[in-house]
Amino acid sequence: MNHELPPLILASKSPRRQELLRLMDIEFRIVLKDVDESYPDDLQPEAVALYIAEKKARAFDETVGDEIVLTADTIVCIDNLILGKPESAAHAVEMLQLLSGRMHRVITGVCLLHKHQYHSFYDISEVYFGKLSDEEIVNYVEKYQPMDKAGSYGIQERIGLIGIERINGSYTNVVGLPTEKLYRELAKLNRD
């Protein structure tokens, strides 16, 4: 599939998303635009992830040619409370204390913009954290500085390795890009 795809633009500075695309053997270039990531308060979590991903794609609609623009937004949700990126180290500690010993959902909304058409989808994974001590949480936040991560953690980092008991759903979705669904959607675009 990859060789026939139009050129792909990844509109994300996330090194995790970049690495996942490389592992998929998808060639891309990175183009970043500043986008306000606010959203209406009345949206359900799945709709929030899609709304922000589509908002990011709209920033490219006037300027993109034959390329496919890939945008994504990952949110962490517990009891319908959306946990975005932490505002401070103390906030990161609070979030991880909330997640400790409980199940939360990770939702990634993805938008593929091609020829002024928006192809959007999302994926949901349930993540079960074991009980984490305050010391483990504080040490993680101090060492890894998870300020750029929804829910204040990276599954591929120490806290994920020692804290996550199981996942229902896609691992790559929790990393930040549901690669299985992305591959199928790109294949569909390629056929159109």
- Side-chain-side CA neighbours of 177 within 13 Å: the count stands at 25
Q: Which of 15, 109, 117 is nearest to 58 (CA)?
A: 117
Kindly state the helix (H) or strand (E) to which residue 112 belongs, with its residue range.
Answer: strand 103-114
Amino acid at 142: E
The active-site residue out of 41, 42, 73, 123 is: 73
Q: What are phi and psi of 99, to 5 degrees?
A: -75, -25
Amino acid at 31: V
Question: Three-state DSSP class for 185?
Answer: helix
Task: Give the Cα separation of 128 and 35 in Å (integer).
Answer: 31
Is 73 an annotated catalytic residue? yes
Structure tokens at 146: 């998870």
């929790």: which residue's tokens? Answer: 174
Question: Three-state DSSP class for 50?
Answer: helix
| Burial letters 164-186, b for 16+ CB under 10 A, else e | beebeebbbbbbbbbbebbeebb
- Residues serving a catalytic function are 73
